Amino acid sequence: MSRIAKLSPETWDPELRSMLKTETKSSFELGNMRMLAHIPEAAKAVAHLMMTVKTKRILPERLAELVRLRIAFHNQCRSCMAVRYAGAAADGVDQDLVCSLERPAEAKDLSDADKAAIDYADRFAINHLSIDEGVYDGLRRHFTEAEIVELGLWCAICSGLGRLNATWDMVEDLPSAYQDKSGPIAPWKISETITPNK
């Protein structure tokens, strides 16, 4: 059971309900908004940020999904690891590619750009102070300044919200493998996932 009470959408601020089109989404798809709805103005700001980042993304969906899943592993955010977004699947993210995240530096199906972004995400999630000029110089071989800024923002969102979600223990809507709390899990070891309608 989640550690923070989930609010039912019919109790939410009407503007937040409208923003998220709650009538078209499952409980799982509403995710942490079920808790964030306790603070409606902040929830609307988070929802707006997420919609902007996702709909105006300049990085490939494939890369954003790989970064998100790698950070979810570091955070042990089970709800983040369980979901696979349709846009990323359409951009080539399947379970075989997700399995590349176990050892990204050795993966043959990851490009040098993918590996540089995933290295950045790893550092961001577990040792952010190791991100120095050399890391940024390596990113510049593959990405524009705008793409690097977007990558950093995406890592910040995934790291921060993923950690928050993990502390809220939002697992009751997940496949059983993600509910097992006997030890760390990894998205490359569990093939059962949830694909939201969005």
pLDDT band at 132 (very low <50, low <70, confident <90, very high): very high
135-172 tens-digit pLDDT:
999 999 999 999 999 999 999 999 999 999 999 999 99
Model confidence pLDDT, tens digit, residues 15-40: 999 999 999 998 889 999 999 999 99
Instruction: Give the per-residue pLDDT at 197.
Output: 62
Mean pLDDT value across the chain: 96
DSSP-assigned states of every residue in the chain:
--SSPPPPGGGS-HHHHHHHTGGGS-HHHHTTHHHHTTSHHHHHHHHHHHHHHHHS--S-HHHHHHHHHHHHHHHT-HHHHHB--HHHHHTT--HHHHHGGGSGGG-TTS-HHHHHHHHHHHHHHH-GGG--HHHHHHHHTT--HHHHHHHHHHHHHHHHHHHHHHHHT--TTS-HHHH--SS---TTT----B----
Mean pLDDT score, 60-84:
97
Q: What is the pLDDT of residue 99?
A: 97
Q: Flag whether pLDDT at 81 surpasses 70.
A: yes
Domains of the chain: 9-55 (no CATH), 61-179 (1.20.1290.10)
Among 61-65, 108-112, 179-183, 194-198, the range scoring the smallest mean pLDDT is: 194-198
Q: Flag whether pLDDT at 198 surpasses 80.
A: no
Confidence of residue 196 (pLDDT cuts 50, 70, 90): confident
Task: Judge whether residue 122 has pLDDT over 80.
Answer: yes
What is the pTM (predicted TM-score) of this model? 0.95
Residue 1 clears pLDDT 90, i.e. is over it? no
